[in-house]
Amino acid sequence: MDLTELYQDLILDHGQKPRNFGKLKLYNHDAKGHNPLCGDNIHLYLNLDKKGIVTDLSFEGSGCAISVASSSIMTEIVKNKSEKKAQELLDAFFKMIKDNNDLKKIDLTENEKIKFQSLSGVNKFPMRVKCATLCWHTLKAAFDNQKQPINSEVID
Amino acid sequence: MSISVTSQFPIFKKYKKLVYLDSANSSQKPISVINAIDNFYRSKYSNIGRGVYTLAANATEDYESTRSTLKEFLKAYNGDIIFTKNATESLNLVAKCFGENFLNSGDEILLSELEHHSNYVPWHFLRKKKIMIKFIPVNKDGNLDITNIKSLITNKTKIISLTHISNVTGKKTPLKKIIEVAKSKNIPVCIDGTQAVAHTAVNIKELDCDFYAFSGHKMYAATGVGCLFMKDKWFEKFNPFLGGGGMIQDVDIKNITFANGVSKFEAGTMPAAEVISLKFAIDFLKTTKIKNIEKHENELISYAISKFNKMKNIIFVGKPDKSSSLFSFNIKGIHAHDVSTVFDQDSIAVRAGHHCCQILHKKFNIASSLRVSVGVYNVKQDIDALCESILKCKKLFKIQ
């Protein structure tokens, strides 16, 4: 297995300089995620308008390069999309990571697709799947305003 | 190097490239231990302590002789050794049984900030009884600061429970001094010896502790066996830990009387094969000699520390101890789990995470670290491979 497939430049860049990092001033949904084995943790904030569009989202927390990059990329891709669209992306992400499905049908710009797919290498590293999926689980919890923090040990 | 036993461990024949640096988590097994389990099931198997037939009598004898071997190995002459499921269960037994009869609201328990969760969580349960838990603090080097030990031990302190060797820093606890103070105040002491028994000579009689907990799987024996040394006087003072077969004297519809001695604390069918494997693991340790093992492991750790000191961006968890079999570290700017994935590609097994020691990690303001722990089978080339992989990791993450 080639490590550069997992740790692509794009991942390293997002891992070291995460985008949308910090707490949003205005948000109406949030949720926490935790990976007790690794100690990865994320607090996700998002603002959902009346039309169901995620107008802004951000995250705080700490974790490995995969988990931070995945969170950073997720916030970039989900911003300005509808909750429904975000749910579709979440399903597509899990299929890509767990079943190695390709993304031919997914409606994303080329740039977004590249970012989204940059995490597909995780598929070959089963011990790291939880790192990549934690933020997406937390996104779902945030939409549901779930008070109980997501625990990756229980979910994946 | 003074010892050469790697060829006795079949796993290194199967995985020729394996660099196993996770013995503090669990050790690999020598062929004598594997054969002992195989042989017991093939030609000696019966449940122990039940039947009166020859097969059962012989199996029981093998099981009981493991206990005697252990007692002799650890110079545990002033008490007896109970078999449990693991060291965690041994510590739970002490916390539950001691808590039940000897702790009341307002009493204090003294632990340290170095404790593995297994020597904290069982005591935490007693907070329900309004028991206070105090901690001996750790200094910036990761060592226990016992300058104020006399004030930490108050007239409310009812028990002290401490690790013998930290599973994160590898540092030995200054037990002699602490036990001295405890004895002067008649306070019982419980020791978590999990990281000590396979790495340094342990003399329980000399330590003069009341309880000493450890596990078989970290000392080259099978999984599924924990041990608990208990001074003679506690056997009568404690109520049974678990109830069931084997731990009773007489049962009728109204009353039950319990067995004496170790039987009182060994309820149900015990893992006989695994316990017996421990006898063979001790034979292996005795043949290799614990002195030689300690010297060998300390040399490897010294070698690793000196190589690490020459590398940039290595941050140790506390000050690493050359007279140890383990240490923990981080590479600045790279998360421990990312490092561990890179190591894994080079067949290097180390533990990444908080090693069940969140209190210590929080004290150092980190969520996780990488732990290098050696066993009798490691060689200098393993450390060289580790250092090579660190360079590879830094290159991948573009860190100097």
User: Strand, coil or helix: what is A93?
Assistant: helix
Contact in structure between A28 and A57 (CB atoms under 8 Å):
no
Q: Would you place residue A17 in the very low, low, confident or very high pLDDT band (cuts 50, 70, 90)?
A: very high
B257, B130: one domain = yes
Q: Would you place residue A156 in the very low, low, confident or very high pLDDT band (cuts 50, 70, 90)?
A: low
Contact in structure between A45 and A57 (CB atoms under 8 Å):
yes
For residue B357, indicate whether it is catalytic: no
Model pLDDT, residue A38: 73
B263, B331: one domain = no
Which residues of B sit within 8 Å Cβ distance of A? 333-338, 341-342, 344-345, 352-354, 361, 367-368, 396-398
Which range marks the domain in which residue B380 is found?
A: 2-23+289-396
Please tell me which residue in B209, B227, B356, B393 is annotated as part of the active site. B356
pLDDT (tens digit per residue) in A77-103: 999 999 999 999 999 999 999 887 776
Q: Which residues contact A104 (CB under 8 A, 6 or more apart)?
A: none
Q: Would you place residue A155 in the very low, low, confident or very high pLDDT band (cuts 50, 70, 90)?
A: low
Q: Would you place residue A115 in the very low, low, confident or very high pLDDT band (cuts 50, 70, 90)?
A: very high
Domain count, chain B: 2
B321, B388: one domain = yes
Is residue B29 situated within a structural domain? Answer: no
Model pLDDT, residue A112: 93
Distance of alpha carbon A125 from alpha carbon B345, whole angstroms: 10
Is residue B235 situated within a structural domain? Answer: yes
B205, B322: one domain = no
pLDDT (tens digit per residue) in B55-65: 999 999 999 99
Question: In this complex, do A39 and B338 lie within 8 Å of one another by their Cβ atoms?
Answer: no
User: Strand, coil or helix: what is B30?
Assistant: coil
**What do you get for the CA distance between the two ends of chain A, in Å?**
23
Domain ranges of chain A: 3-151
User: Strand, coil or helix: what is B200?
Assistant: coil
Is residue B117 situated within a structural domain? Answer: yes
CATH number of the domain that B341 lies in?
3.90.1150.10
Considering Cα of A108, then A109, then A112, then A117, what sign does the dihedral take? positive
Interface probe with A: pick from B313, B334, B338, B394, most Cβ of A within 10 Å: B338
Helix (H) or strand (E) holding B279: helix B272-288
Q: Which residue of A has its CA nearest to B370?
A: A38
Is residue B41 situated within a structural domain? Answer: no
Is residue B40 situated within a structural domain? Answer: no
Model pLDDT, residue A149: 83
Model pLDDT, residue A153: 67
Instruction: Tell me the shortest Cα–Cα distance from B21 to chain A, in angstroms.
Output: 18
Q: Report how far Cα B22 is from the mean position of its chain's Cα atoms.
A: 13
B201, B59: one domain = yes
Distance of alpha carbon B277 from alpha carbon B274, whole angstroms: 5
Beta bridge partners of residue B167, listed in sequence order: none
Q: Which residue of B has its CA nearest to A11?
A: B397
Asked whether this complex has an ipTM greater than 0.85, the answer is yes
Residue ranges of E strands in chain A: 29-35, 40-48, 54-62, 150-151
- How confident is chain B (400 residues) per 10-residue block, as mean pLDDT? 86 97 98 98 93 93 98 97 98 98 98 98 97 97 94 96 98 96 97 98 98 98 98 97 94 95 96 98 98 98 98 97 98 95 97 93 93 98 98 93
B331, B343: one domain = yes
> Among B342, B344, B367, whose Cβ lies nearest the Cβ of A62?
B367
Question: In this complex, do B353 and A4 lie within 8 Å of one another by their Cβ atoms?
Answer: no
Model pLDDT, residue A152: 72
CATH 3.90.1010.10 fits A3-151, yes or no: yes
Is residue B36 situated within a structural domain? Answer: no
B218, B144: one domain = yes
Contact in structure between B12 and B27 (CB atoms under 8 Å):
no
B255, B275: one domain = yes
Q: Which residues of A touch B341 (CB under 8 A)?
A: 3, 6, 125, 127-128
> Among A1, A39, A131, whose Cβ lies nearest the Cβ of B353?
A39
**Among residues B311, B326, B374, B327, which one has the least CA distance to residue B348?**
B374
B141, B232: one domain = yes
Helix (H) or strand (E) holding B132: strand B132-136
Q: Which residues contact B42 (CB under 8 A, 6 or more apart)?
A: none
